[in-house]
């Protein structure tokens, strides 16, 4: 039986290059990067190398990169740190209804501490209603936070266009972008796109779990949320996790090598998958603009994430379908991995106004550059075999 891992939006398998880099930093060059002796200097070099790799990938300065334990911490630092440091400038923050919990929860904390939070709606494909965003800007608006790619349905926002327009409307507005699902899938250049704060995570791009980074544009005032020895210019105290940082740097170097080839391959597999799934009865494809759903033309698909496919199967509970596919060696998700242990209606599916009968019938299939055509064909074969059986069982 073939095994097919299609839950890459939850986490990815590390590459051999990353594994080797992590082991070397963990086992051989194990010094504390704050130490002044040879072992400390070696450890510090890993951090410098990773910083330069990430900065080069985004065409920013190394001093604008701060390492964190992952996307969640980076989002907390970006939102809470910036809000608290700039409170006198304004206490109004704008976001959307489809953000990750690591954005929603810090914003809830800020709301409890006197900040005003506005939520902008999205259309049925998950695209933000831009005019409502621009109209929501007020004199006391401090920050806007919008995810680049939605982790559940793969909707991709027009970040460059939004960033440019935000700066036109209010020059000093701070634009935060959660790019956890976009980094490594899109070329992202924060300074060209009007982005002031950008979050990335290692384990979404074949790097180690517990690794992440925040781009902070020079000049942005931000307060730390972790206090201690003043590491990383006082923005994130604590001895740096050198193996994780080294692995993150290697993952970034790897993911942007032959980048166009990798992304084109994923879009081709996505097109193949969606065209075949759409032929089945009682199926709805989520996160795709209406004009794309007739034949899933490539130009249209490229307005969405290359790696995420969200499909609702009428009449079948997602958890049942998930485990039936697992029995055939296909591993998928029924939504965000971060909410799997706290089951509740998906805020994203609610925001796109998915019919109630499909809320608990939605699966997420997410690829990486390691995914093959054979794996996609095998998955389609299993879906076609299992779906009618489960529907017959449900009706009984």
Catalytically active residues are 338
H/E stretch holding 53: helix 38-58
DSSP codes, 253-319: HHHTTTHHHHHHHHHHHHHHHHHHHTTSTTEEEESS-GGGTTT--HHHHTTB-SSEEEEEETTS-HH
Structure tokens at 61: 């300065």
Contact 10, 70 (CB under 8 A): no
Contact 165, 130 (CB under 8 A): yes
Structure tokens at 114: 């006197």
Tell me the three state secondary structure of residue 184: coil
H/E stretch holding 93: strand 92-96
Crossing angle of helices 373-395/259-277, nearest 10°?
A: 30
For the chain, first and last CA: distance in Å? 29
């Amino acid at each position: 039986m073939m095994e097919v891992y299609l839950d890459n939006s939850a986490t990815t398998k590390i590459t051999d290059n990353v594994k080797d880099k992590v082991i070397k930093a963990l086992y051989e060059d194990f010094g504390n990067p704050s130490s002044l002796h040879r072992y400390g200097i070696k450890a510090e070099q890993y951090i410098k190398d990773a910083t330069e790799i990430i900065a080069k990938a985004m065409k920013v300065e190394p001093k604008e990169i701060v390492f964190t334990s992952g996307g969640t911490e980076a989002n907390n630092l970006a939102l809470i740190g910036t809000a608290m440091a700039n409170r006198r400038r304004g206490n109004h923050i704008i976001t959307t209804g489809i953000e990750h919990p690591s954005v929603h929860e810090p914003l809830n904390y800020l709301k409890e501490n006197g900040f005003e939070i506005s939520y902008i709606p999205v259309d049925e494909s998950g695209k933000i209603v831009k005019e409502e965003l621009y109209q929501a800007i007020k004199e006391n608006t401090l920050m806007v936070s919008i995810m680049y790619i939605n982790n559940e349905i793969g909707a991709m926002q027009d970040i460059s266009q939004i960033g440019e327009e935000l700066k036109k409307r209010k020059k000093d507005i701070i634009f935060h972008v959660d790019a956890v699902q976009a980094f490594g899938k899109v070329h992202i250049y924060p300074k060209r796109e009007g982005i002031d704060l950008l979050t990335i995570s290692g384990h979404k791009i074949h790097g180690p779990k517990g690794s992440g980074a925040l781009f902070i544009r020079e000049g942005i005032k931000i307060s730390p949320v972790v206090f201690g020895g003043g590491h990383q210019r006082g923005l994130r105290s604590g001895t740096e996790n050198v193996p994780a940082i080294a692995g993150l740097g290697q993952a970034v170097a790897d993911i942007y090598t032959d980048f166009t080839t990798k992304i084109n391959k994923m879009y081709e597999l996505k097109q193949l998958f969606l065209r075949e799934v759409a032929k089945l009865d009682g199926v709805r494809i989520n996160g795709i603009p209406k004009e794309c759903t007739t034949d899933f033309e490539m130009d249209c698909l490229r307005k969405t994430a290359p790696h995420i496919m969200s499909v609702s199967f009428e009449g079948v509970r997602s958890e049942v379908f998930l485990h039936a596919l697992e029995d055939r060696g296909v591993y998928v998700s029924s939504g965000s991995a971060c909410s799997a242990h706290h089951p509740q209606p998906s805020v994203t599916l609610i925001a796109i106004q998915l019919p109630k009968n499909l809320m608990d019938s939605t699966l997420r299939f997410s690829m990486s550059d390691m995914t093959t055509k054979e794996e996609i064909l095998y998955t389609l074969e299993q879906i076609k075999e299992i779906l009618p059986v489960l529907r017959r069982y449900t009706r009984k």
